[in-house]
Amino acid sequence: MAKDDYRALLKPDVINTVSGLSLISRVIVDGYLSGLNRSRQVGAGLEFSQYRGYEPGDDLRLLDWKMLARSGRYYIKQSEIDTHITVKFIVDTSASMLHKEEGLSKMEYANVLIASLAHLAHSQGDAVGLLTINNKQLETLQPATGKSHFNRFLYQLLKLKNQGSWPERITSDQLHNRSHRELIFFITDLYEQSEEITNMITALKTSRNEVAVIHLLGKQELEFNHKGQVIFEDLESGEKVKVNARDARAQYVQAMQSSMTTIKEKLLSSGVGYDLFTLDKHLGEALQLFLKKRANLI
């Protein structure tokens, strides 16, 4: 197997073991790091962004006037970035994350993605933490460093149980200490009834942290390429509905695109990062693109 070719390992019996997940994440991260141009003094993509929005009380001498000229907005250049940071993964473990395409579920895809990002953070000496949520349970693994903690992180990730839906009542204080400086990755399919997930994400954003949403969807969820009479089951409610795929496709795709655009615009306007990952895309390439964008390489 080539060093950067992990795809033969993307099987449930490999993904769903600590050793297998550790191996896949290591292969993906090693492939990414070996491709970086090491002559450039840039990070690997898990650092805080170089800029943050101007806030009342900031020293005006720190304003980046070039950014103002380009964007029309006021930014402060962060000249001092901590060598080590705390990276927290907040994971939507509702039943809809069990949606599967081509033998791989959104949750299995998420596990590989999370393990890879956590492996990168761990290799940099950063503390990693995990918080998994649905309306049945909320489990937390406090951020820490070290090999034994990383293995426990992977174990915790694998033993999570997808069930139910997103909680109706949960506050941002239950997910994040606002006094802490953290890089938060929020992994979800963003299936919500009335903006409950989106509102929670925007509430997490403070001047001291960075929040990046990883939106996971299947190709069929986006394109609705079904044929004939199809019975769909809501994985969260169990409700079933029969539709004519050809008649429903145009309306479905339009509604999906409209919803995604609205959510993305709301997140970005709140200072929250947003990236879409789809199950049909090469995970390693998608992750490399994501990290290079974060590291300002593209």
Q: Are residues 97 and 238 located together in one domain of the fold?
A: yes
Distances (CA, A) of 262 to 47, 72, 77, 193, 265: 28, 23, 29, 14, 5
Indicate if 130 and 59 belong to the same structural domain. no
Contact 107, 95 (CB under 8 A): no
The total number of structural domains that make up the chain: 2
Mean of all residue pLDDT scores within the chain: 81
Same domain, 90 and 178: yes
Same domain, yes or no: 157 and 172: yes
Give yes or no for residue 142 having a pLDDT over 70. yes
Q: pLDDT tens-digit profile of 86-107?
A: 899 999 999 999 999 988 899 9
93 shares a domain with 231: yes
Q: What is the CATH number of the domain that holds 32?
A: 3.40.50.410
Model pLDDT for residues 215-240, shown as the tens digit of each residue? 999 999 998 887 777 777 677 777 78
Residue 292 corresponds to which tokens in the numbers above? 């290079």
CA distance 168 to 87: 26
Does some domain include residue 192?
Answer: yes
**98 and 229, same structural domain?**
yes
Indicate the pTM of the whole model. Answer: 0.79
Do 23 and 125 have their domain in common?
Answer: yes
pLDDT of 279 reads 93
Q: Which amino acid is at 163?
A: Q
Among 22-36, 144-158, 210-224, 244-258, the range scoring the smallest mean pLDDT is 22-36
Residue 2 inside a domain? The answer is no
Residue ranges of alpha helices (H) inside 128-227 are 147-158, 196-204, 219-223
Give yes or no: residues 133 and 57 share one domain. Answer: no
> Would you say residue 58 lies in a domain?
yes
Angle CA 240–243–249, to nearest 5: 120
**Total Cβ atoms within 10 A of residue 172:** 16
Domain of 63 in residue numbering reads as 49-81
Q: Are residues 134 and 75 in the same domain?
A: no
Q: Are residues 64 and 118 in the same domain?
A: no
Residues 287 and 178 in one domain: yes
Nearest CA to 284 out of 90, 39, 26 is that of 26
The predicted pLDDT at position 39 comes to 35
Residue 1 lies in a domain: no
Let me know if residue 206 belongs to a domain.
yes
Share of the chain above pLDDT 90, in %: 40
CA pair distance 177, 240, nearest whole angstrom: 40
Strand residue runs (E) in the chain = 51-53, 75-77, 86-92, 100-101, 104-105, 127-133, 138-144, 182-188, 210-217, 229-233, 240-244, 273-278
Q: How far is CA 238 from CA 96, 189, 235, in A?
A: 10, 17, 5
Amino acid (1-letter code) at residue 93: T
Tell me, yes or no, whether 235 lies in a domain.
yes
Please tell me whether residues 106 and 242 are part of one structural domain. Answer: yes
Would you place residue 37 in the very low, low, confident or very high pLDDT band (cuts 50, 70, 90)?
Answer: very low
Taking each helix axis from N to C terminus, what angle separates 18-35 and 147-158, rounded to the nearest 10 degrees?
A: 120
